Chains A and B, each alone.
Chain A
């Protein structure tokens, strides 16, 4: 089969374009929904925590009672439920409904599980801690994973992990022991996750 140099050039260009397009589409298909999901979870859960702490602070200031912390306990329960829902949904999106079936998919799922089991172990070893320290620590755990994953896979994850980690650190030291820390985490932390997910979905379409 004889083909011209121009045709050969065009074919190679087509191959390069399709190759890059496929890589981006696959990354978008598996990463974007999970980022949007966790961004929404962070937003709702941190906003709820903020409201609960704000209410408790107001009640404390009004000297109605100093041990009114039902809202905070309810928030903790809501966090647990939302995280469990998030983990189950991530498993479905990342393993069962993933557009690409890979022998690594399940391994990634177990890596995340192991990471959080270890985070729990470290938290128990580091006791005593306050809610702000625990929250900042647990929020930084998935960001650590994003940075590591970003080194191997998508650079977007690397930068997202670094930016959100910096936001956690800045928020933690800037608003230490102040309820506004939860609002900071809801808007900037949750917003960064969901925003990146939406950006990937739109830009890599």
Chain B
């Protein structure tokens, strides 16, 4: 039985993971662009990304492009699996409720 992932379930982190999983594997999104997509502040996004990085769900890569620092983020394989399991857990709760209502 899939279980609810407490790290991912937090609303902001849920949105972050949904955004990162929307990218194809191998693709990385710019930190500033992700912040705009999710309408979060720098500090808020940074703090949530740090938690997800500690869990091994995202990879944060700092680089220089044309001498300007840029940060790119992507969901790891472990993160994608955990997110998928979290969705299955949510669907299982809805399914179980429907079964008991019958």
Contacts and interface: CB of A to CB of B under 8 A. Distances in A.
B90 A18 contact: no
A23 B24 CA distance: 10
Given A1-B9, A3-B9, A8-B93, A18 B30 contact: no
A14 B14 contact: yes
Interface in A15-36: 15, 18-19, 21-23, 25-26, 29
B17 to A, nearest CB: 8
Contact of A22 (B18, B87, B93): B18
Given A19-B21, A100-B23, A101-B30, A11 B14 contact: yes
B27 A101 contact: yes
A9 interface: yes
A190 B73 CA distance: 36
A103 B26 contact: yes
Interface residues of A, number: 25
Interface string A51-92: 000000000000000000000000000000000000000000
A100 B6 contact: no
A59 B26 CA distance: 59
B4 interface: yes
Interface string B23-67: 110111110010011100000000000000000000000000110
B69 interface: no
A155 interface: no
Contacts, number: 79
- Bin the interface of chain B by size: 20 to 34
Contacts of B93: 3-5, 8
A26 B30 CA distance: 10
Nearest to B83: A15
Contacts of B23: 22, 26, 100
Nearest to A99: B33
A96 interface: yes
Contacts of B6: 1
A99 B31 CA distance: 9
Given A3-B4, A22-B23, A99-B30, 5 more contacts: A5-B93, A12-B94, A15-B14, A26-B37, A103-B27
Interface of A: 1, 3-5, 8-9, 11-12, 14-15, 18-19, 21-23, 25-26, 29, 96-97, 99-103
The 8 A-B pairs with the shortest beta carbon distances in the complex, nearest first, are: A99-B33, A18-B18, A5-B97, A22-B22, A8-B93, A22-B19, A8-B90, A102-B27
Interface of B: 3-4, 6, 9, 11, 14-15, 18-19, 21-24, 26-30, 33, 36-38, 65-66, 72, 87, 90-91, 93-94, 97
